[in-house]
Amino acid sequence: MSIRVRFTLVYNLILLATLTVFSVALYNIQAINTLRTLKSALTKSSDEVAINLIPLVLLYPPSLGPNLQESDPRLFENLSNALEIKSLREREIVRVLDASGNLVAAPFGLADKGLPISKEGMEQLQNGNAWWETTNVGVNLLVLNRPIIVDNQLYMILQVARPLTEREQSLHALRNTLITADLVVLVLASIIGWVLSGYLLRPIKRITQTAQQIGNEQNFSRRVDYNGPNDEVGQLAKTFNTMLEQLEEAYKKVSGALEMQRDFLADVSHELRTPLTTLRGNLGLLRHEPPIPEDETADILNDMVDETDRMIRLVNELLEQARADSTKNMLLEPVNLKILLQDVVRQVKLLSEDRQISLGVPDDLNVMATKDALKQVMLILVDNAIKHSQRDIVLEAQRVEDEVEIRVIDHGKGLSPEELTHVFERFYRADRLSGNGFGLGLSIAKGLVENMNGQISMASEIGVGTTVMLRFKAAEREGEAT
């Protein structure tokens, strides 16, 4: 069962309960009010009859007593000419009974007995209390029995009654009207509830459709179009759009990672294919029959050694790249930058004694880093600068607010803006930087720097040179630097 159907059913059930309570209450209030009105009218009429009729009835019999015996009921018209008496036939049924309940007087003398009185009613009358009864004499009557007390003794009983037919018809009509009105309201409410629920649930339907389209098309750039109020549905649409933005970003990252992985595998395959092909070809030459001359064999063996060394370097750099990618949340500690860079310069000069490296670093400058990782980064950057510059290299560092900036400056050929956008990518080698490397050094350095919560960037100008800039958080307690 859909939410729309459930919403409409719940709405109608609540409305049905409300209408039922309202209708029952209205019906009961109307019944009570009409009965109260009818009793008030009967009480007033009984007062008028008692004032105009009872004194005459008391004077009429030849002998007074609690039981008045006569052969025929007396006519009211013969007892009084009062208007209240003559108009009784148009409003109420009136009877006058003696203390035993026998008929004493009636309009036109048409009645042969009084209206029925229950045993409980007679007891109340004997005690001087008025008594209301509902009786049926062909029609339902509401009867007011009033005692006439003389000398503290029940002398006569005055009965004033009205038919309940009009009240019953009125209540019956009211009941039918309420039932019909409730049914009409329920039908209209069902239609309105169905339309209203469809309107309110339209954004949710759009969310569902959008989710289905995203699943079918794998298009995470789609969004739910919602322009309504910021209610629960609006918050749902907003949350869904936020989730889509996060999914889109995650999808792009995953897609980028997969693409980088494919490119990485392709580049590795390409880099390994050349030395492996060379080795395979040289091995074929060594197995040649008849054997090749000894001088050619020596050249082939030297070539095989060079290709093997190249593959070893490639594998080592790949391992360094994998280590840089997998090493997260490095343990950072204060590191004295001058001492570390002095070690870097000393190691580099062992490989390139003719190259001058200038070092400009304050003695007390410390950074939060991992010593071995930072040293590896600097070796990569300095070695890369020496390879692509024929002039001196400059290493300098300074504190900038709460950070330390390190710069590696060379005076090589420089890079174009297009080349700078790719310089930190794996296996990327710019034309001006082509050489014996595999294009992994800067990628490894970038991974290590970022794992130490640092930043790395490069600025270059063709014909002027290149500057690599590193930024790390400055050590808070310089005295603990190592």
Q: What is the pLDDT of residues 439-454, one digit of tens each?
A: 677 887 888 888 888 9
Token couple for 407? 């710069």
Rounded CA gap, 364 and 323, in Å?
31
Residue 290 DSSP label: S
Q: What superfamily in CATH does domain 3-170 come from?
A: PAS domain (3.30.450.20)
Say whether pLDDT at 461 is over 80: yes
Rounded CA gap, 161 and 114, in Å?
11
Rounded CA gap, 286 and 280, in Å?
10
pTM (whole model) above 0.85: no
Domain ranges for the chain, please list them. 3-170, 233-322, 330-480
Say whether pLDDT at 94 is over 90: no
Angle 397-402-406 from CA coordinates, rounded to 5°: 20
pLDDT tens column, 394-435 = 999 999 989 999 999 998 888 888 888 888 876 676 654 445
pLDDT tens column, 202-215 = 777 777 887 788 77
Rounded CA gap, 290 and 199, in Å?
91
Which pLDDT value is given to residue 254? 83
Where is 465: in which H helix or E strand? strand 465-473
Burial class (CB in 10 A: 0-12, 13-18, 19+), 71: exposed
Strand pairing report for 153-163 and 103-106: unpaired
Where is 202: in which H helix or E strand? helix 202-217
Q: Which residues contact 51 (CB under 8 A, 6 or more apart)?
A: 84
Beta strands in 73-216 (DSSP E): 74-75, 93-98, 103-106, 131-136, 140-150, 153-163
Q: What sign results for the dihedral spanned by CA atoms 346, 348, 353, 357? A: negative
Token couple for 113? 């007995």
Q: How many alpha carbons fall within 13 Å on the CB side of residue 10? A: 8
What is the mean predicted confidence (pLDDT) over 176-193? Answer: 90
Rounded CA gap, 361 and 396, in Å?
5
Beta strands in 321-402 (DSSP E): 333-336, 357-360, 366-369, 393-400
Cα distances from 447 to residues 232, 384, 397, 410, in angstroms, run 44, 16, 21, 22
Burial class (CB in 10 A: 0-12, 13-18, 19+), 262: exposed
Rounded CA gap, 458 and 268, in Å?
25
Rounded to 5 degrees, φ, ψ at 474 are -70, 145
pLDDT tens column, 47-72 = 877 777 666 656 555 443 444 444 45
Q: Are 157 and 99 in contact (CB under 8 A)?
A: yes
CATH for 233-322 is 1.10.287.130
Rounded CA gap, 40 and 19, in Å?
31
Choose the weakest-confidence range: 79-88, 148-157, 252-261, 357-366: 79-88
Which pLDDT value is given to residue 180? 93
What is the mean predicted confidence (pLDDT) over 345-372? Answer: 83
Strand pairing report for 366-369 and 403-409: unpaired
Residue whose pair of structure tokens reads 């339209």 in the numeric block: 202
Q: Are 404 and 374 in contact (CB under 8 A)?
A: no
Other CB atoms closer than 10 Å to residue 443's CB: what's the count? 23
Q: Does domain 330-480 have CATH number 1.10.510.10?
A: no
Rounded CA gap, 482 and 468, in Å?
24
Choose the weakest-confidence range: 102-111, 156-165, 303-312, 360-369: 102-111
Q: What sign results for the dihedral spanned by CA atoms 302, 308, 313, 314? A: positive
Rg (CA), the chain: 56
Rounded CA gap, 1 and 7, in Å?
10
Query: Which is higher by pLDDT, 242 or 322?
Result: 242
Which pLDDT value is given to residue 480? 46
